[in-house]
Chains A and B, each alone.
Chain A
């Protein structure tokens, strides 16, 4: 599914990712953990195609297709979804309008028909109910006046609607209380599927109690410095990142 090889990324000529390699097969959930400044958000933004993240070397492919050559919207149409650490507020664009515009743009890019208004509403209602979200909230400007937890739920709602193949969760647990963390995690877990891959990027092990990874990778100074099973996350929680930061 996702294959990253020897990736080097600079922002304003400062090297942030330095030779990162990672493969996430379909059906698996991989966690990337690392201290602040390790390059976690740079990795997620690079995969999503944000401007200013310059790939100086290496590759990233989704099912063999070069992701880095595609525009952010073309990546989305091929199934890449980044759940933002800090989702944006978009005044004047109701969440429902935003989601429907996004769905139809992706469908158009794939040569599919637009979703009908009744089908769209039916699906939103079901997805919002699963995330305990009020439909009235979705009629207001996207994320405007939402709490941190509501914004993260809104991200997961969009993910559920867009049905991506590669899910990248950037610090999805930040700003969540325990109840919100549980609801968001249930939403993510409901999307686990044999034809989907997930990259869960997090500083803390806490999220991984709810979203169980198949593999855990340690990111330090822009490279993967250790990989292992779920037990690696527990070890990091106990012993911290010092050992890996020093080794990197």
Chain B
């Protein structure tokens, strides 16, 4: 159980992660939350979720309670289903901490369309924990759209264990909250297993979004490819912490991590900490991290062709984030993700 989930269960703020904890230095919660709110009441679902356009089953977790499934998702050997998993918070100021377990059996191929949704004005404190097992040769595509209220505090943590030759493709698209964090911990066995771990954030006002990943390569011949991109304006704050650990014996690991951010205002902030810890030989590891502004030259070039400045900015930022969206292989989901990102960018600065 994470610190936040424990704090919610015990209603004890002293259990909250603090910015004095190295892994929470930019997203400390103990300094923010003096009282853990009461448990959220039973709630009802919101209207259609952001993935509604993809033909799929809908699994609902409302105010921390699984509504129409037992909190366990099992995908049988060789099955290829698609499901929406909607974490919905309708409580104005409640707290909840659901725990969901997902088991994907041998050779199955599961597309999980996850969303984090809150009723407008919600000031809930939520922790979502997912425990995911991917059996040998199975595949999980996990795509996340997070669109939560400005006053929410929301942390989602997934612990994902892969079997040999398993494949994980994850993309987190987030717009932040009072504090929002997506944490992904991956136990990577090598042995032909392949991980794509991507994210993007679009942040305005004083919103905060944190994407933290830890990938531990424990066996030979594993591949991890990671790309996170973000845009922050106003006084928003983006956080990226990416750690890749290559354990002794995990030879032949190929791990790449990139984080690139655009700051669209002087008061926006992006904090990034890419870390590679390598204890094996013969590995290929690389990381790149950049934070910059839109190119004035590119904006002028577009304007000289008649494109207005706001339109040029949206076009160039959409192209910047587009690289992350393009890596989503599932076509209907990719189109939804693309439209979602463009809508969020179009709304910046309004």
Per-residue interface assignment for chain A, residues 54 to 94, with 1 indicating a CB less than 8 Å from any chain B CB and 0 otherwise: 00000000000000000111011100011010011011110
| Stretch in A19-27, A43-51, A181-189 touching the partner | A43-51
In the A-B complex, list the 6 residue pairs whose CB atoms are closest, starting with the nearest.
A92-B319, A76-B306, A106-B306, A102-B305, A72-B303, A88-B301
By beta carbon, the residue of chain B nearest A101 is B307
Determine whether the beta carbon of A102 is less than 8 Å from that of B296: no
By beta carbon, the residue of chain B nearest A109 is B306
Residues of the A chain whose Cβ atoms lie less than 8 Å from the Cβ of B271:
none
Residues of the B chain whose Cβ atoms lie less than 8 Å from the Cβ of A50:
300, 304
Can you report 28 residue pairs joining A to B where beta carbons are below 8 Å apart?
Answer: A48-B304, A50-B300, A51-B296, A71-B308, A73-B305, A73-B308, A76-B303, A76-B305, A81-B304, A82-B304, A88-B298, A88-B301, A90-B301, A90-B319, A92-B318, A92-B319, A93-B315, A93-B316, A98-B302, A98-B305, A98-B315, A101-B307, A101-B311, A102-B305, A105-B307, A109-B306, A109-B308, A162-B306
Q: Is B277 an interface residue (CB 8 A)?
A: no
- Bound: A149/B305 CA distance, A: 20
- Bound: A73/B320 CA distance, A: 22
Q: How far is the CB of B316 from chain A (nearest CB, A)?
A: 7
Chain B residues with CB under 8 Å of chain A are 295-298, 300-309, 311, 315-316, 318-320, 322-323
Determine whether the beta carbon of B319 is less than 8 Å from that of A102: no
Judged by DSSP, the binding face of B is helix
Which interface residue of B298, B301, B308, B309 has the most chain A CB atoms within 10 A? B301
- Bound: A99/B305 CA distance, A: 8
Task: From known contacts A51-B296, A72-B300, infer whether A102 and B316 are also in contact, taking CB-CB under 8 Å.
Answer: no
Residues of the A chain whose Cβ atoms lie less than 8 Å from the Cβ of B301:
84, 87-88, 90
Determine whether the beta carbon of B319 is less than 8 Å from that of A105: no
Other-chain residue from A73, A90, A109 in contact with B309 (beta carbon distance below 8 A)? A73
Give me 19 other A-B pairs in contact (C-beta within 8 A), A81-B304, A101-B311, A101-B315 excluded.
Answer: A51-B296, A51-B300, A72-B304, A73-B304, A76-B305, A76-B306, A81-B305, A82-B304, A84-B301, A90-B298, A90-B316, A92-B318, A92-B323, A93-B316, A98-B302, A102-B302, A102-B307, A105-B305, A106-B306
